[in-house]
């Protein structure tokens, strides 16, 4: 009984303040000032709404009377339809599923956090679905707009929302004009019908937004709202809007390139022109926003035309080599790079192909000409051309296939038979891309030259023989004692060389590299080397010092008779650096003479005759020979 009285009282109250009927905007709508879509997430159930509703939150697919849940879709429980959320293109979005209370209550309430414009019409609407798959208590909602002090400004009742034969979303709402003294409001949705067997519903996409005059829009003075063009297209695009409403409206065009709407500050009329070439490939959306001049600065007061979409598709950019030279018998490769698509080739002799990079085997002179490809991607196409020239084979020639040079010399090479030349290796060449480089290799080298006439290539070779220069080395200077012989230590190097010694005097064979020499006096010999290939010769000298043979007495008789009184060494004057030392049998020094002292001994020590006996000498000639030793006998 109490339940019935409460319901009647509420209904009577609402009938007193309801001044609007169900009417969603038939003109243009602005961007939502409020848009409640209950969010989105990876979990099936979303978070509770807190104080925005008087109902109890449960994370369950089947809330009981007076409860609600936030979920991605209503699961069929036999009594309810299976229903996904309403928000377009949002599979992870949530809806609000409500099992109505036995008593009327607030489904949803929130402040409109944006300042509204005075004397402006707004639409307050929501999408609702009666979930019952059978006939039962029907949802019945009241939409309420309140001032911030909770004064009711306007209401709208949906009446009973009947069941449908399939899961169906339907939008309910009404229009509201703001009083001159109101710029902030609250919105509320109330449940009027009792709970029990029925009154189970889903709620989604609650919106509050400006409603303005009817606006249509199109491309190039048509009603078409989509236009597809190709990149770099020359024809400009005109988009325009037609407005039914106040003549005092102000306009502005906006563009969304994928990152949100951006004002085009210079486009303030109902028509604008887009230079087609200014748009890179991509999707562009345009709309015109309108509002009274006094309210135009506030986005919450504007409404917008239908969206005009311009799709700019990339134009294929075929990349080919514009000129190709091919030798007869080789393959013509019509190589194409760049944009993917379909391909259509044409060329000489009615040639055609749909391959991307076709190959023409065994080219002949008749294949010369221009080949053209048309590349098509979607509705866009582009053309590229290749000029193919087929050449007869060339013959590569060099003046000489083998040339000789001496080490350190240079020689000119000469090739012919083509237009371009490429020599290898580059070592020792003055240039590698001329017909006649100068070659200066340090060792024998085989050079190859590839001769081309622009398409055909042949390679020939030339060997440059490098003969090593003649080198002579007669060896270090030597010394001998008169009557001795010595072998000369000659050395030579070089390619194709001969040699001989001069003078030939006292040599056993002057044509030998190591002849035996026995000169009787000092002598200088020259080793001469000459090249059979005409390269410069060489020579080297060696000096032989011939020392006189020493005659060393072994006995003297210093008795004053003038005969054999002094120990003299014949030819010792040939050894000016010689040093002499004489000792007794005890090793005591008896006589010594340096390089500048006397070289003879009179048998005395410090002016006194030494005893008769045997003494021992040591002579260092300082000529590289070993020290001479022996004995001297003193007799009187």
Give the pLDDT mean for 476-497. Answer: 92
Give the pLDDT mean for 525-548. Answer: 93
Length of the chain: 636
Task: Quote the pLDDT of residue 594.
Answer: 81
| CA distance linking residue 231 with residue 282, whole number of Å | 9
Q: Is the pLDDT of residue 21 over 90?
A: no
pLDDT mean across residues, the chain: 90
381-415 burial: b if 16+ Cβ within 10 Å, else e? bbebebebebbeebebebeeeeebbbbeeebebeb
Give the pLDDT mean for 565-588. Answer: 88
Q: Hey, which residues does 242 pair with through a beta bridge?
A: 216
Q: Are 380 and 398 in contact (CB under 8 A)?
A: no
Tokens at residue 297, please? Answer: 């600065």
CATH class given for the domain over 215-313: mainly beta
| CA distance linking residue 402 with residue 400, whole number of Å | 6
Q: Hey, which residues does 120 pair with through a beta bridge?
A: none
Query: How many other CB atoms are found less than 10 A from the CB of residue 444?
Result: 14
pLDDT tens digits along 420-468: 999 999 999 999 999 999 999 999 999 999 999 988 999 999 999 999 9
Q: Are 609 and 603 in contact (CB under 8 A)?
A: yes
- What are the distances in angstroms from CA 551 to CA 56, 186, 571, 573, 626? 144, 146, 7, 12, 16
Q: Where are the beta strands (DSSP E) in 317-401?
A: 323-327, 332-333, 342-347, 351-353, 359-360, 369-377, 380-391, 397-398
Residue 451: asked if its preceding bond is cis (omega within 30°), the reply is no
| CA distance linking residue 161 with residue 202, whole number of Å | 12
| CA distance linking residue 296 with residue 120, whole number of Å | 11
Q: Of the candidates 303, 273, 222, 265, which has an alpha carbon nearest to the alpha carbon of residue 26?
A: 303
Q: Is the pLDDT of residue 369 over 80?
A: yes
Q: Is the pLDDT of residue 124 over 60?
A: yes
Q: Of the candidates 462, 446, 466, 463, which has an alpha carbon nearest to the alpha carbon of residue 405?
A: 466
pLDDT tier at 205, thresholds 50, 70, 90: very high
Does an H or E element contain 219, and which? strand 214-219
pTM of the model: 0.58
Q: Is the pLDDT of residue 378 over 70?
A: yes
- What are the distances in angstroms from CA 144 to CA 17, 346, 547? 10, 72, 142
| CA distance linking residue 53 with residue 188, whole number of Å | 9
Intrachain domains 2-212 and 215-313 with the same fold: no
> Residue with structure tokens 């102000």?
250
Phi-psi sector, 282: left (phi>0), alpha (psi -120 to 50), beta: left
Compute the radius of gyration of the chain from its Cα atoms: 60
Q: Is the pLDDT of residue 1 over 60?
A: no
The distance from CA 611 to its chain's CA centroid, rounded to whole angstroms, is: 106
Task: Quote the pLDDT of residue 76.
Answer: 67
Q: What separation, in Å, do the N-terminal and C-terminal C-alpha atoms of the chain show?
A: 182
| CA distance linking residue 482 with residue 450, whole number of Å | 69
Percentage of the chain modeled with pLDDT above 90: 76
Give the pLDDT mean for 236-252. Answer: 91
Tokens at residue 166, please? Answer: 């399939």
| CA distance linking residue 241 with residue 243, whole number of Å | 7
pLDDT tier at 522, thresholds 50, 70, 90: very high
Q: Hey, which residues does 539 pair with through a beta bridge?
A: 528
Q: Is the pLDDT of residue 16 over 50?
A: no
Q: Where are the domains of the chain?
A: 2-212, 215-313, 323-391, 397-467, 471-547, 555-634
CATH class given for the domain over 471-547: mainly beta
3-state DSSP call for residue 609? strand
Tokens at residue 68, please? Answer: 């609600």
Q: Is the pLDDT of residue 510 over 90?
A: yes
pLDDT tens digits along 30-61: 999 999 999 999 999 999 999 999 999 999 88
Tokens at residue 51, please? Answer: 């104080």
- What are the distances in angstroms from CA 491 to CA 330, 454, 476, 488, 510? 59, 54, 11, 10, 14
pLDDT tier at 550, thresholds 50, 70, 90: confident
Q: Is the pLDDT of residue 70 over 80?
A: yes
- The fold for domain 397-467 equals Immunoglobulin-like (2.60.40)
Phi-psi sector, 66: left (phi>0), alpha (psi -120 to 50), beta: left
Residues 6 or more apart whose Cβ sits within 8 Å of residue 100: 65, 66, 137, 139, 191, 193, 194, 195, 199, 200, 201
pLDDT tier at 17, thresholds 50, 70, 90: very low
Q: Are 316 and 380 in contact (CB under 8 A)?
A: yes
Task: Quote the pLDDT of residue 22.
Answer: 53
Q: What is the CATH code of the structural domain delimited by 555-634?
A: 2.60.40
Domain 2-212 homologous superfamily, CATH:
Galactose-binding domain-like (2.60.120.260)
Query: How many other CB atoms are found less than 10 A from the CB of residue 254?
Result: 19
Domain 323-391 homologous superfamily, CATH:
Immunoglobulins (2.60.40.10)
pLDDT tens digits along 132-190: 988 999 999 999 999 999 999 999 999 999 999 999 999 999 999 998 888 899 999 99
3-state DSSP call for residue 278? helix
Give the pLDDT mean for 84-110. Answer: 93
Task: Quote the pLDDT of residue 621.
Answer: 84
Percentage of the chain modeled with pLDDT above 70: 96
Q: Is the pLDDT of residue 8 over 70?
A: no
3-state DSSP call for residue 276? helix
Query: How many other CB atoms are found less than 10 A from the CB of residue 41?
Result: 14
| CA distance linking residue 376 with residue 382, whole number of Å | 7
Q: Is the pLDDT of residue 7 over 70?
A: no
Q: Which residue has the higher pLDDT, 274 or 77?
A: 274
| CA distance linking residue 111 with residue 134, whole number of Å | 36
Concatenating the DSSP letter of every residue in 478-498 gives: EEEETT--EE---EEESSSEE
Q: Is the pLDDT of residue 313 over 70?
A: yes
| CA distance linking residue 67 with residue 75, whole number of Å | 16
Query: How many other CB atoms are found less than 10 A from the CB of residue 365?
Result: 10
Residues 6 or more apart whose Cβ sits within 8 Å of residue 298: 115, 117, 291
pLDDT tens digits along 259-283: 999 999 999 999 999 987 778 899 9
Task: Quote the pLDDT of residue 14.
Answer: 33
Task: Indicate the burial class of 607 (C-beta count within 10 angstroms; 0-12, 13-18, 19 or more).
Answer: exposed
């Amino acid at each position: 009984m109490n339940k019935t009285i409460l319901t009647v009282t509420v209904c009577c109250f609402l009938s007193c303040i309801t001044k609007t009927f169900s009417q969603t905007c038939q003109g243009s709508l602005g961007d939502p000032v409020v848009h409640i879509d209950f969010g989105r997430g990876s979990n099936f159930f979303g978070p509770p709404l807190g104080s925005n509703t008087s109902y109890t939150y449960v994370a369950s697919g089947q809330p009981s009377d007076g409860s609600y849940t936030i979920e991605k879709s209503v699961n069929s429980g036999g009594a309810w339809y299976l229903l996904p959320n309403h928000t377009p293109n949002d599979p992870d979005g949530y809806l609000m599923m409500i099992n109505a209370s036995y008593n009327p209550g607030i489904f949803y309430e929130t402040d409109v956090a944006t300042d509204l414009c005075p004397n402006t019409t707004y639409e307050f609407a929501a999408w609702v679905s009666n979930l019952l798959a059978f006939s039962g208590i029907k949802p019945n909602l009241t939409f309420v707009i309140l001032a911030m002090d909770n004064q009711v400004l306007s209401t709208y009742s949906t009446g009973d929302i009947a069941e449908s034969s399939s899961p169906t979303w339907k939008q309910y709402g009404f229009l509201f004009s703001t009083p001159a003294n109101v710029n902030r409001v609250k919105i509320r949705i109330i449940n009027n019908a009792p709970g029990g067997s029925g009154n189970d519903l889903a709620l989604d996409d609650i919106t509050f937004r400006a409603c303005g005059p009817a606006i249509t829009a199109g491309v190039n003075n048509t009603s078409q709202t989509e236009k597809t063009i190709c990149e770099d297209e020359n024809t400009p695009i005109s988009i325009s809007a037609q407005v039914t409403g106040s003549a005092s409206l102000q306009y502005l065009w906006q563009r969304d390139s994928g990152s949100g709407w951006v004002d085009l500050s210079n486009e303030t009329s109902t028509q604008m022109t887009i230079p087609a070439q200014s748009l890179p490939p991509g999707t562009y959306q345009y709309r015109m926003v309108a509002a009274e001049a006094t309210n135009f600065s506030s986005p919450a007061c504007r409404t917008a035309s239908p969206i005009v979409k311009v799709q700019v598709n990339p134009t294929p950019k075929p990349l080919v080599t514009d000129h190709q030279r091919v030798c007869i018998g080789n393959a013509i490769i019509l190589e194409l790079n760049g944009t993917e698509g379909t391909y259509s080739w044409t060329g000489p002799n009615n040639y055609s192909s749909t391959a991307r990079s076709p190959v023409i085997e065994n080219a002949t002179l008749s294949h010369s000409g221009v080949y053209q490809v048309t590349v098509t991607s979607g509705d866009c196409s582009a053309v590229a051309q290749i000029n193919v020239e087929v050449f007869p084979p060339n013959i590569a020639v060099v003046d000489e296939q083998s040339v000789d040079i001496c080490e350190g010399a240079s020689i000119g090479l000469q090739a012919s038979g083509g237009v371009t030349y490429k020599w290898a290796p580059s070592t020792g060449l003055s240039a590698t891309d001329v017909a006649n480089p100068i070659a200066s290799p340090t060792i024998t080298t085989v050079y190859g030259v590839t001769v081309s006439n622009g398409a055909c290539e042949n390679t020939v070779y030339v060997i440059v023989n490098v003969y090593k220069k003649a080198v002579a080395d007669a060896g270090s200077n030597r010394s001998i004692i008169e009557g001795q012989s010595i072998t000369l230590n000659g050395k030579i190097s070089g390619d194709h060389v001969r040699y001989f010694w001069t003078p030939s005097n006292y040599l056993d064979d002057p044509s030998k590299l190591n002849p035996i020499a026995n000169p009787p006096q000092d002598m200088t010999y020259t080793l001469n080397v000459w090249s059979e290939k005409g390269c410069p010769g060489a020579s080297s000298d060696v000096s032989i010092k011939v020392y006189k043979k020493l005659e060393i007495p072994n006995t003297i008789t210093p008795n004053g008779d003038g005969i054999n009184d002094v120990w003299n060494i014949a030819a010792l004057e040939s050894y000016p650096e010689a040093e002499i030392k004489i000792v007794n049998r005890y090793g005591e020094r008896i006589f010594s003479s340096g390089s500048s002292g006397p070289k003879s001994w009179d048998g005395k020590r410090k002016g006194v005759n030494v005893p008769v006996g045997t003494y021992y000498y040591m002579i260092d000639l300082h000529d590289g020979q070993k020290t001479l030793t022996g004995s001297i006998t003193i007799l009187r």
